[in-house]
């Protein structure tokens, strides 16, 4: 599967989604907030971003003037080109310590990467022989460019990452893994080797939100996805999310979103 687009419809989701493909996009104007897994970041002019498959993604504050070029592809598509074993897996294995994006200065390097997206568009609309193989090579080149940029960025990021930031990062990572089974701040604090009070203070200082708010936000995102993109009953959703009863889940959902799970599922 390979597709190119300059539309932004897929970045204006009403509810969280999980893609079945990789998305690589480059932004030359406008902005949007993206939450993917436990990362929350903004794409702006000069940003290159990779959105992996099977990870919960949601967007907010997508500007009207957002201008992006996007390429959608699957790993299977890339694997049809002969490369040293493991190369494609390495290029697609994103370092989860850092949000999956890099911001270029708007200079020659950014324009060079943007031109590769234009080349893919041209090849997709051509009837020349080997056009898909050419596209595969260009995507590989973009992935190498992204990985090189992010390796450099990550070095500086790790040098400046203080202890409170590290704790917040580890906490968010744990929430993404255990939100449906760990129902107290104490469980997260115990795993991190600190007191619940200290964890609460650090999270509040670093994010402006309480630790419990972050847990509840993750539960709500998953519940929105289940209600909109699966056929699970309300009872089954409640069970998957760790609620003892469907009525308890419904009260929780309505308290935050001002709408019942049933009405949310039926909404456009």
pLDDT (0 to 100) of residue 221: 94
CATH number at residue 195: 1.10.10.60
What pLDDT score was predicted for residue 169? 86
Please report the pLDDT score of residue 53 as a whole number: 93
Residues 105 and 228 both lie in one domain: no
Helices 211-229 and 163-178 pack at an angle, to 10 degrees, of: 30
User: Do 27 and 154 fall within a single domain?
Assistant: yes
Q: What is the CATH number of the domain that holds 63?
A: 2.60.120.280
Say yes or no: 121 and 193 in one domain.
Answer: no
* Same-domain check for residues 129 and 196: no
Evaluate if residue 212 carries a pLDDT over 80.
Answer: yes
Q: Mind listing the pLDDT tens digit for each residue in 122-158?
A: 999 987 889 999 999 999 999 988 887 776 555 555 5
Confidence (pLDDT) at 126: 86
Instruction: Let me know whether 120 and 77 are in one domain.
Output: yes
**Shared domain check, 141 and 63:** yes
Whether residues 86 and 120 fall in one domain: yes
Domain boundary among 125, 145, 160: 160
Q: How many residues does the chain have?
A: 268
Task: Categorize the per-residue pLDDT at 268 as very low, low, confident or very high, splitting at 50, 70 and 90.
Answer: confident
What is the model's pTM? 0.83
129 lies in the same domain as 244: no
Q: Where are the alpha helices (DSSP H) in 80-162?
A: 87-92, 108-124, 131-160
Q: Please indicate whether residue 113 or residue 86 has the higher confidence score (pLDDT).
A: 113
Last residue of a domain, one of 109, 141, 160: 160
Q: Virtual CA dihedral for 143, 145, 149, 150, nearest 10 degrees?
A: 10
Find the domain containing 221 and state its range: 163-266
The strand order across the sheet containing 39-43 reads 17-18, 56-60, 32-36, 39-43
8 A C-beta contact, residue 99 and residue 157? no
96 band by pLDDT with thresholds 50, 70 and 90: confident
Number of domains in the chain: 2
Q: Provide the pLDDT for residue 145.
A: 85
């Amino acid at each position: 599967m390979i597709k190119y687009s300059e539309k932004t419809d897929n970045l204006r989701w009403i509810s969280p989604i999980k893609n079945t493909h990789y998305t690589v996009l480059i932004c030359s104007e406008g902005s949007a907030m993206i939450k993917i897994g436990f990362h929350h970041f903004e794409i702006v002019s000069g940003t290159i971003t990779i959105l992996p498959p099977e990870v919960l993604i949601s967007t907010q504050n997508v500007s009207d003037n957002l201008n992006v070029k996007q390429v959608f592809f699957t790993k299977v598509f890339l694997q049809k080109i002969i490369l040293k074993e493991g190369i494609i897996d390495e290029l697609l294995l994103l370092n989860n310590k850092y949000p999956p994006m890099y911001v270029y200065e708007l200079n020659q390097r950014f324009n060079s990467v943007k031109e590769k997206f234009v080349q893919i568009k041209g090849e997709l609309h051509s009837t020349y022989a080997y056009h898909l193989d050419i596209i595969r090579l260009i995507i590989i080149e973009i992935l190498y460019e992204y990985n090189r940029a992010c390796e450099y960025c990550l070095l500086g990021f790790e040098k400046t990452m203080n202890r409170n930031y590290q704790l917040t990062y580890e906490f968010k990572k744990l929430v993404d893994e255990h939100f449906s089974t760990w129902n107290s701040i104490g469980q997260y604090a115990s795993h991190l080797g600190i007191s619940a009070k200290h964890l609460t203070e650090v999270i509040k200082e670093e994010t402006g939100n309480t630790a419990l708010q972050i847990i509840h936000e993750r539960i709500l995102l998953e519940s929105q996805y289940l209600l909109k993109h699966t056929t699970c009953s309300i009872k089954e959703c409640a069970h998957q999310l760790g609620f003892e009863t469907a009525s308890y889940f419904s009260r929780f959902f309505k308290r935050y979103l001002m709408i019942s799970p049933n009405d949310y599922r039926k909404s456009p």
